Structure 1
Amino acid sequence: MKKKQLNIFCACIGLLLFIGCVKSNKEPVRIEKKMSKETLLDKIKGGWAGQTIGCTFGGPTEFKFNGVFIPDYVDILWPDGAIKGYFDTFPGLYDDVYMDLTFVQVFDRLGLDAPVDSFAMAFANADYMLWAANQTARYNILNGTMPPASGHWLCNPHADDIDFQIEADFSGLMSPGMPNTAAGICDRIGHIMNYGNGWYGGVFVGAMYSLAFVYDDIEQVVNEAINIIPKESTFYQCITDVIRWHKQYPDDWKQAWAQCKIKWDNDKGSPHGVFNYYNIDAVINSAYIVIGLLYGEGDYARTLEISTRCGFDSDCNPASAGGILGTMLGYSKIPEYWKKNLYEVEDLPFAYTDISLNKVYQLSYNQALQVIERNGGKIEDGEIVIHCQTPEPVAFEECFAGHYPVKKESVNKNLQDWKEFEFDGIGFAVTGAVSSNDPKYVARVETYIDGELVETAPLPADMIRRREDLFYKYQLPKGVHEVSFKWLNPQPGATINVYDLVLYSDKPKEPVRYQ
């Protein structure tokens, strides 16, 4: 009897092994990817070229269509000389590129183990203009608040914004087939300026670039990359919604766009975006990248057009979509129609840098070879073997937990005429700017909450070194608070202009009920 049972058991095991083999043959687990050096370089070039093309294509519409998609009757053109025109007249368009280049250059100078502070100081002391989370992080760093605190939402009201998302391309391009390695790079650098969903935007984009080296199906790239984001995050929930809506409305991207707007078009962090059509939040803008990629179905022109027509940050979103698809296709397979404007600038350095496209192609290629070898891959003669990785979720983070914007007041006064306010809640943010006849002037303002000095803030008039938002404080005890300001060094020709006041409570605002 025992022998019979043993035979049955062995037969069952054999059947299970056979089924497993059949399943394995249908769905092979990718462990290694082989490619030539020429292919690797071609894909890296495709990533940088695609990002530059996409950014240029969407440049004329950036934040001109907020809360609406760009209608079909609005032409988005690609005239001859488009990229060179921006290089000559508005090089600041390429902030998402030259921020990438800053980090690439630090890796080139100090190696793969470059300390976080080196990246932080490199961009904080650069001459280029920055905004939102980047500018807040720059201010923090220049005033002694270093990473990761410089990007944390308690020190950075823009922590959920798009900033690292638009400048994380380099992480995936130097980590081909290794999304977890790219995420590790993002952990170090992305927390300089972002946290939570803002950081996830960069991690997700980096993972898509990384996987675009090893898959030739853009839907597979998206579906696998999202697994690197924790499921409990609203970022994960939004992107998986978009994937589901794509299946539900496979032939109509505007339906997916509409569903996305209804459920996810809200911004509770950025003081500029709260209660406003303007939305620079990473969640919604990442969704627009994915809508472009999924509905573009690998077609370069359609991918750029859809990701641009979704609106909001409509230069950065097609830049990411174009770079990811450009990596998958490779430079050689990006249609000539799109590359024609690229040739005349490939040897020109981007503004505020000494790095051109041709130079960064090689820098990223060299760094990718180093990362491949460090992570178990091999480089033999003309062939490269990449030890590929399955995406693993990064740590869960959440900005503004338990905080809900309940009111936004337009102030539009000089701080000398608006020295105090009272509110019932747990936090606030005040937007504004310092202006002065003396560009080197730095205002100094004390902030008191309930009679206690909580901060003495230097507020530079210099736009490069400015504080993006004048004042903010979160996690206050629930209740009524009195906030007042004391300008310590007013001088003739200097003003501190207060724009808006955003108030937070521990519960969402109750909607008005009409009878």
Structure 2
Amino acid sequence: MKYTCTILFVLISSTIIFAQQTVTISNDVLKDKIKGGWAGQTIGVTFGGPYEFRYNGTFIQDYQPLHWSASYVKNNMLNNAGLYDDLYMDLTFVDVFEKYGLNAPVDSFANAFANAGYMLWHANQAARYNILNGIKAPQSGYWMNNPHADDIDYQIESDYAGLMSPAMPNTASEISDKIGHIMNYGDGWYGGVFIGAMYSLSFTSSDIPYIVKTALKTIPEQSTFYQCIKDVIQWHEQYPDDWHRTWYELQNKWSNDMGCAEGVFAPFDIDAKINSAYVVTGLLYGNGDFTKTLDIATRCGQDADCNPSSAGGVLGTILGYNKIPDLWKQSLKDAEDINFKYTTISLNKVYDIGYKHAVQNILAHGGKQQGDNVIIVAQQPTPVKLEQSFPDMYPADKIALNTAIVETTFTFTGTGFIVSGAAQKKSDNKPDTIIEAELYVDGKKVETTRLPTAFTTRRYELFWHYGLTNAKHTVTMKVLNPNPDYSLWASHYIYYTDKPLSVKQTLITF
């Protein structure tokens, strides 16, 4: 596969003031790579699906077989549609671009996914709740408003940004700046920026270490996301034949989750940076082999469907659809005309739409079509702005509540807290309702909130409040419209301090 690169120099008074590199790709190659990207992520999420969050804090041993069948994609699309949240979230944004153009406003993307019929979790669901209750993007993804800001959500749905920005990683970042901040901030947003950049660079390079290192240039060096991925690159260079050693190093240094209440003091880790590190581990140690790449990305565990989906999508773009091994591609034959649930888009449709959007984006950024080729004004990646969620916040303890809130009070000494639980109806025969509640901190009302019992519109966490002085605080939660048929169940709370606890402090005696 050949690309033509041209560097144009502009001279004023014999002085070069800028250099512009163009890349020429045939229309057929562009179509094949876009098709490979969408196919690769579909294959990857299907392959990893059975292992999603079943191996937390451990990897899948090499002797354990991972299964595959030519019927897996079709069967899952028809009978396990929720597996494809990676895809139908992507396609929600693709559909907005298709309806309203490349300059569609952020609210059109936010409202499309907030009002969609699919179930959501973590940062996506927290953002959906925010949008439906008047907190617009980008505040809907900001860590003070979204305790899941660092979670993997935008990372798994950012593929479209890179696939519509061939050789234009900064353009992919601009798209992600608008859409990724709907649901994420900081490391959670960086996951999507980084994945998008890898896709973008995969149109003009097949050198995987180069793609990984160059894509990382879109991330600020001061961020923990950058530092984590840089570690993976260094460990791969240090242990080039042992991905297990890199996995152990990641577990030792980067397996702590600060924001997501389900991952604090638990093996579960949906944090974007470590799951992105598993994507990179699969790509680097897979060394261009599609099967090996999916195998390693899956065996790393945690979000074991999304990680091979991202790795498979990037590698599928590098290889192009035609070079994805038939072992994997045959599973798509009977599925490519099936619309993903909650959408009107199938794989065959998005292959064509994706190509159209890529050409539109190329032309919008100085490129052109010339005969059977597209000429792209290639971009050297530049870092996006620095963001860091949950600064100087360290989990101190997790305390069980296990109570239905009527008026419930607890005290803690620290700088913030988060309360987990759910608004519930006591019988499935009852209609969904909204429980209204108030939160007080140290006697002052912090918020009055609406807590739906409906799963798709629920508030993912009941209450949280950060940024307090490091002192003793009293928290009161009060239900305003009690009803014997419904309850506001609080399972536990986690509180934070402004410094890591010492060994002596973490030793609790009775």
Partner residue, 1:387: 377
Distance in 2, Cα, partners of 1:439 & 1:245: 54
**Which residue, 459, 474, 480 being the options, matches 1:482?**
474
Q: Which consecutive unaligned segments of at least 5 residues does structure 1 have?
A: 1-28
1:210 aligns with 2:197: no
Counterpart residue number, 1:23: none
1:243 paired with 2:230, answer: no
CA drift of 1:310 comes to 0.2
| Aligned mates of 1:512, 1:63 — CA distance in 2 | 32
Aligned to 2:298: 308
Measured in 2, the distance between the counterparts of 1:305 and 1:512 equals 42
Which of residues 85, 90, 96 in structure 2 aligns to 1:100?
90
Q: Which one of 327, 341, 344 corresponds to residue 337 of structure 1?
A: 327
Match of 1:503? 495
Instruction: Give the aligned partner of residue 52 of structure 2.
Output: 62
1:52 equivalent to 2:42? Answer: yes
Alignment deviations for residues 109-149 of structure 1 (CA, whole Å, 9 cap, x no partner):
00000000000000000000000000000000000000000
- Counterpart of 2:33 in structure 1 is 43
1:411 Cα offset (Å): 2.2
CA shift, 1:30, in A, is 9.0
Q: Report the counterpart of residue 317 of structure 1 in structure 2.
A: 307
Q: Which amino acid aligns with 2:411?
A: E
State the identity %: 55
Q: Which residue, 168, 174, 199 being the options, matches 1:178? A: 168
Equivalent positions of 1:248-397 (< 5 A) are: 248-397=238-387
Partner residue of 2:415?
Answer: 426
Name the counterpart of 1:134.
124
Q: Which amino acid aligns with 1:152?
A: Y
Q: Is the 8 A contact 2:408 2:478 kept in 1?
A: yes
Superposition misfits of 4+ residues, deviation over 3 angstroms:
none
Q: Which amino acid aligns with 2:443?
A: G
Secondary structure of the equivalent of 1:93?
helix
| Counterpart in the other structure of 1:445 | 437
What's the C-alpha RMSD, in Å, of the aligned pairs? 1.3
Shift of 1:512: 3.0
User: Per-residue deviation at 1:345?
Assistant: 0.9
- Greater shift, 430-439 or 188-197, is seen at 430-439
Cα distance in 2 between the residues matched to 1:493 and 1:483: 26
| Uncovered stretches (5+) of structure 2, i.e. residues with no partner | 1-18
Contact 2:297 2:308 in 1 (8 A): yes
Residues 321 and 147 from structure 1, CA distance in 2 versus in 1: closer, same or farther, beyond 3 angstroms? same
2:147 matched to 1:147?
Answer: no
What is the CA-CA distance between 1:281 and the residue it aligns to?
0.1
User: 2:262 is paired with a residue of what secondary structure?
Assistant: coil
Give the CA deviation at 1:497.
Answer: 1.5
CA distance in 2, matches of 1:351, 1:170: 18
Q: State the number of aligned residues.
A: 486
Measured in 2, the distance between the counterparts of 1:496 and 1:472 equals 15
Question: Partners in 2 of 1:78 and 1:158 — Cα distance?
Answer: 32
Q: Does the residue aligned with 1:501 lie in a helix, a strand or coil?
A: strand
TM-score (norm 2): 0.94
Counterpart in the other structure of 1:228: 218
Distance 1:440 1:143 in 2: 17
Distance in 2 (alpha carbons) for counterparts of 1:510 and 1:142:
41
3-state DSSP of counterpart to 2:411: strand
Q: C-alpha distance in 1, partners of 2:358/2:74?
A: 28
Over residues 331-367 of structure 1, what are the superposed CA-to-partner deviations in whole Å (9 max), with x where a residue is unaligned?
0000010011111110000011111001111111111
Q: Give the aligned residue type for 2:35.
A: K
> Secondary structure at 1:406's aligned position in 2?
strand
Distance 2:195 2:413 in 1: 39
Describe the SS at the equivalent of 1:422.
strand
3-state SS of the aligned residue for 1:419? strand
SS at match of 1:123: helix
